[in-house]
Chain A
């Protein structure tokens, strides 16, 4: 290679490095509409109120019993699986695998349990409209815990700490309780515990506080790459249309072109199947086991099954998204980079023809993809988990 050519290449490389260094240091500015969009993702945490459909919501005894039950493998057939077997506390209440196995291999990825107290629909297909019914579902599902109301009654009646905790919480003995009612009590205790699983404020939340107060130092403390990613998220990416609000989800369902085949000739109907299940579910908010009023069931009363629901899945919250892969309803994307690539190179042919015309390929540059991932990684924070304490039996022995 001639010397002048070599010098030219070195020069190009030098300017290239300068260019990328400069790009990575650039802080974006925000107009009024963008600031408003960003503030829509606050405050964190949102205000809380007890679940009106669960009269044990917020009840300390129910929370304690629920935590105990959550970690108890004896709830399952064969005593081999607890809720915590898939929703592992040290993995942000997920399992880190694409598809897990209960009594059989599962079709859907294990979702996280953080911040569910603000959810309106539960499960990838929204087949449940409340957290206690959602907690009952895996207990009874053959592919998961494959248990029954009778099994739970037998377990609780014959176990002193459990029967004592049950009586202390629900003011009735397990022995005198109808198995289905007992199953609902168990669901409500599990829900009361899961309501306590709330993520702490994130780096993004700190930035939003700084932005609200026009605290320039605080704003500058948020990494420039994350800020540029945020601009894409609320701007050309339009991610915030679905990933809206403090939870980064509008709580509804969407088809984003992820295949929903689950074997030869079998498809996962997604939300379409979920609505059918919801309407048949005796544990829904319109059923006899809800402690709420008709007004608390307003969504369930008015839900509309539409053809476009076929292949739609729940829009997940993005809090802790950086630490909760794999992603999508079938766990088919391993990393955040793959998720961003999916949206960048979206195959529109895979979208439902009757579906929402919101998605189109974002065609992001390499730097834009990195920025978007940087932003998403700032949505992580630990989940506050209380220490499990033993169920007291002394009160029952009096």
Chain B
């Protein structure tokens, strides 16, 4: 009986971990992810590869959760700009909505050293909120 309870406990823990991983909301406390937020959403992101190199393409994974805890199911528009130079990228990222608030963005290329700003425009139900993240490219 004791071992059965033990097994049930392990199964429940595994189920909890799997559920959190699969649903992405609330966002996992993963130190490798960068975090930003808007009034209504929490966002975690990472870049692939992790290190951004001048002139080399990279992808971005985004996890977006409503602050009530549900996954964002709206539209994402993304860009990166150099505010001091008043220009953006020469490329337009493609955005693929995956399951449960996860988005995969491909085709980023930062072509100069300096201060860049990632901009994510989140649109749902006729409302738009913008999150930005500064990045110094060395």
Q: What is the interface of chain A, defined by CB distance below 8 A to chain B? A: 36, 40, 120, 240-242, 244-245, 250-253, 298-299, 301-304, 306, 308, 355-358
Contacts and interface: CB of A to CB of B under 8 A. Distances in A.
Contacts of A304: 89-92
A302 B93 contact: yes
B112 A303 contact: no
A304 B87 CA distance: 13
B113 interface: yes
28 contacts: A36-B138, A40-B113, A241-B114, A242-B112, A244-B55, A244-B112, A244-B113, A245-B55, A250-B55, A250-B111, A250-B112, A252-B90, A298-B106, A299-B57, A301-B107, A302-B93, A302-B107, A303-B90, A303-B91, A303-B92, A304-B90, A304-B91, A306-B90, A356-B85, A356-B87, A357-B84, A357-B85, A358-B85
A137 to B, nearest CB: 21
Interface of B: 54-55, 57, 84-87, 89-94, 106-107, 109, 111-114, 138
Contacts of B112: 241-242, 244, 250
A356 B86 contact: yes
A355 B82 CA distance: 12
A244 B107 CA distance: 20
A94 B111 CA distance: 27
Looking at chain B's contact residues, is the secondary structure mostly helix, strand, loop, or mixed? Answer: loop
A252 B111 contact: yes
Nearest to B79: A304
Nearest to A358: B85
Nearest to A315: B111
A330 B87 CA distance: 25
Interface of A is mostly: loop
Contacts of A244: 54-55, 112-113
A58 B113 CA distance: 32
Nearest to A36: B138
Given A240-B113, A304-B89, A306-B90, 7 more contacts: A242-B112, A244-B55, A244-B113, A245-B54, A299-B91, A304-B92, A357-B85
Nearest to A359: B85
A252 B93 CA distance: 17
B113 A241 contact: yes
B89 to A, nearest CB: 7
A237 B121 CA distance: 35
A356 B81 CA distance: 11
B87 A299 contact: no
Contacts of B55: 120, 244-245, 250-252
A251 B53 CA distance: 13
A238 B46 CA distance: 30
A166 B16 CA distance: 63
Contacts of A355: 87
B138 A302 contact: no
Contact of A302 (B87, B91, B111, B114): B91
Given A36-B138, A245-B54, A245-B55, A253 B90 contact: yes
A300 to B, nearest CB: 10
A245 B55 CA distance: 10
A298 B107 contact: yes
B86 A357 contact: yes
A248 B113 CA distance: 13
A41 to B, nearest CB: 12
Contacts of B106: 298, 301-302
B80 to A, nearest CB: 12
Nearest to B55: A250
Contacts of B89: 304
